[in-house]
Amino acid sequence: MPTHLLDVDDLTTEELTAVLDRAAEIKADGADSPLDQQTLGMIFEKPSTRTRVSFETGMTQLGGHAVFLGPDDIHLGHGEPVKDTSRALSRYVDFVMARVFDHADVEELAAYADVPVINALTDEAHPCQTLADLLTIREQFGDFDVSVAWVGDGNNVCQSFVLGAAMTGIDLTVATPEGYEVDDDVLERAADFDNAPETTHDPGAAVADADLVYTDVFVSMGQEDRREAKLADFEGFQVTADLLGDRPLMHCLPAHRGEEVTDEVVESDNAIVWDQAENRLHAQKGLLVWLADQ
C-alpha cells in the first residue's frame, strides 16, 4: 500500500518531523535530481496559484515532471468514476496530487491508487499548507514552543493546522464565530496527541497571549453563494493592525483585503505571508522526496 497524505495525521509525529527536516535540507542544500524520470499528476477542480506553481516547479527542480489536469481536461467526476481515474493514472504517474471539493473524492482516489495520493485542498483539509506553515514557524521561532491564535473560519486550512499544531506541540487557540467551529472529529483527532486547541468566540481573548496570528478567507472557494451571510457572521473577526499588535501575521493566501484582513496588515512588516508562500515549494519538495523513499 502506498503512503498517502490526505491530512496531516496520516503521518506519525516522527514522519512529520522527517518530512520537515527533509524540506529544510533541500531548501538549504538543494537536491541532485532525486525524482529523475518521475511524474506528478495534478488534478485541479478549483483554481490555484501557489499550489499549482509550487508543485510543478518543485517537480522540475527535483528532476521530475508534472502534468496539469484541470476540470475540463479529464473525466474525473463527469464521464468516469473517481476510482477509474485513479486506477488509470496509477499506471502512468508516480504521484497523484488532487485539489477537489469533496474530501470523499481524495479518499476514493487513495483507495484505488497504486501510487501516493496527496491532498492539495479539499473542503475539509489542506495538509500541504500545514507542512509549509510548520516549516515557517520553525524558521521564525527556532522550534514549536510557540503560541498561535487562529482568528476566522474553522475551515480546511484551520483544521489541518489544528492537527499539525497538536502533533508538534504548538499551543493553539482557535477563535471562530458561533457556527463556524472546527469539526468535532478534528478536535478528537487532535486530542489523540494530547494537544487539542483551546476554542473561543472572542478574537481579542485568542490573541492576548499569542506570539503569532493566523487567518484565512471568510469565503472559501465554492461558498460564493453564502458570501453576504458569511461576511455578516464574521463581523468583528477581521485581523486589523489593532488586533495584530506587533505579532507576526500568517495567511495561507489568497488574502481578501477588507474582509478577513486589512490591506495595512498584509502590507506591513508583520506579515510573513511571502515566506510562508515560498515554503509551500520547499515543504512539498521534502514531502515528495520523502514519499519516494517509502
Choose the catalytic residue: 159, 252, 276, 282: 252
Dihedral angle computed from the Cα positions of residues 76, 43, 155 and 145, in that order, rounded to the nearest 10 degrees = 150
Q: Is 87 a catalytic residue?
A: no
Concerning whether 282 is annotated as a catalytic residue, the answer is no
CB of 83 to ligand CP, least distance (A): 26
Tell me which of 45, 105, 216, 259 binds ligand NVA, using CB under 6 A: 216
Q: Is 294 tagged catalytic?
A: no
**Does 96 help bind ligand NVA (rule: CB under 6 A)?**
no
Torsions phi, psi for 111 (to 5 deg): -65, -30
Catalytic residue among 158, 189, 216, 238: 216
Which residue in 22, 99, 189, 282 is the catalytic one?
99
Closer of 51 and 262 to ligand CP (Cβ): 51
Q: Return the C-alpha cell found at 47.
A: 483554481
State the binding string over 254-283 for ligand CP (x if CB under 6 A, else -).
Answer: x-----------------------------
Active site residue 189: no
Q: Cβ distance 133 to 164 under 8 Å?
A: yes
User: Taking CB within 5 to 8 Å according to partner kind, which of ligand CP, ligand NVA, none is near residue 220?
Assistant: ligand NVA
Q: Which of 85, 156, 159, 276 binds ligand NVA (CB under 6 A)?
A: 156
Least distance to ligand NVA, CB of residue 101, Å:
9
* Alpha carbon distance 63, 146 (integer Å): 36
Q: Which residues contact 264 (CB under 8 A, 6 or more apart)?
A: 240, 241
Q: Is 72 within 8 Å of 47 (Cβ atoms)?
A: no
C-alpha angle 137-143-149 in degrees, rounded to nearest 5: 45
Please tell me which residue in 50, 138, 280, 282 is annotated as part of the active site: 280
Exactly one of 7, 105, 128, 129 is catalytic; name it: 129
238 to each of 91, 99, 277, how far by Cα in Å? 47, 27, 21
CB of 201 to ligand CP, least distance (A): 25
Q: Is there a catalytic annotation at residue 226?
A: no
Residues 42-61 that bind ligand CP (CB under 6 A): 48-51
Select from 154, 157, 106 the least CA-distant residue to 130: 157
Find how far residue 260's CA is from the centre of its chain. 18
Q: Which residue blocks in 30-71 are alpha helix, DSSP H?
A: 50-61
| Residues lying near ligand CP in the complex (CB under 6 A) | 48-51, 121, 129, 252-254
Catalytic residue set? 99, 126, 129, 216, 252, 280
